[in-house]
Structure 1
Amino acid sequence: MRERMRGRWAVLGGVAALAFSIPTTAPALADESAPALQEVSVPAGAEVIRGTAAVPGAEPSRVGLFAAAPSSSECLGPVAAYGAQGCFQHYGDTTWSGDTVADGMSAAVGVYTDYGRASFVCINNQGAGTWATCKKDYWEDGDVQLRVLRYDGDTGKFYQPEAWSGWIPADGQF
């Protein structure tokens, strides 16, 4: 029963996240300027981790504006906002952070849990058009939620636009 309800809520959460993220994921036209950046905060005590450059050829494939499955595993909860994309690969507990805009800022993917583990943020400071990964060990019965946003490494501040995923089962079983 729990698994069935979990699946229904996950699907509903994913649909809601997609509906709310569509306006923020439209690419800027050539004559449009980047959206105004507004500073946002992450939870106090959130660990900020510099992502490891993804191995060439292992980057998630592109489906529309979202990152999809890496070559042999699923990448769940794809979410995107201006300049950043992210997803969660349950096998190996890997967070993917993609930087999509050459604007001097880094892509950031915050990871939150539903069981009280401290949140962390995976920073991709490899430059535009790249992917970085961060690994953490998650409780298999828990869920994670992703938040993509921009990060200024010079000031250590985070900025909107941002987008959230729905809750994603850490074990990948919806």
Structure 2
Amino acid sequence: MATGLLILVIGRATKIQDLLMAEDKEYVGSLELGVITSTQDADGEVVETRDASAIDEGQIREAFASFTGDLYQTPPMVSAIKKDGVPLYKLARQGKTVQREPRLVHVYSHRIDAISLPVVDFTVVCSKGFYVRTYAHDIGEKLGCGAHLRSLRRTKSGKFGLERSVTFEELKHGDRRELLGRLLSLPEVSRLRGA
């Protein structure tokens, strides 16, 4: 379901992978009000539907605004976070639900791009560890009608954006010389990061 930017590091750059992954992210997403799924996104099974017809634009804007700045977010069961050494998604596949500790995350900014009820398109800039599908779910709960994430595209990770990205198809079948010319060297990465 998720698409967009994925940073790949090779060679000596693998030493700074954690540093790169810790940077802020920008996502463009779409949520659907009134439909709750088992995974908080369109890949899950519908577990509940609620009437969202009374929700208006003002309520939507207010709900989004309430999820700005520092906030505690409870990770979804379908995630790679481990409980007693076992990834939560494995427990979820067994039909188990366990207590998850809320984690401090940060929403730097958000923008509502379009509202065509029951669908809301948005852009969010957030910290590492932020679950956009939980964001969609929580906005739906705040509105009292529930919601799930319909689509998601990462458009930025730190200073890296889609403008210099390469598709998997280009990576697999593209001209090697051209691809090598598009790679960023470690000094370029340092300059981009302001280091």
Could you tell me the TM-score, scaled by structure 2's length? 0.23
Structure with larger Rg: 2
The structure that is helix-richer by fraction is: 2
Greater relative CO (CA pairs within 8 A, separation 6+): 2
Could you tell me the TM-score, scaled by structure 1's length? 0.25
The structure that is strand-richer by fraction is: 1
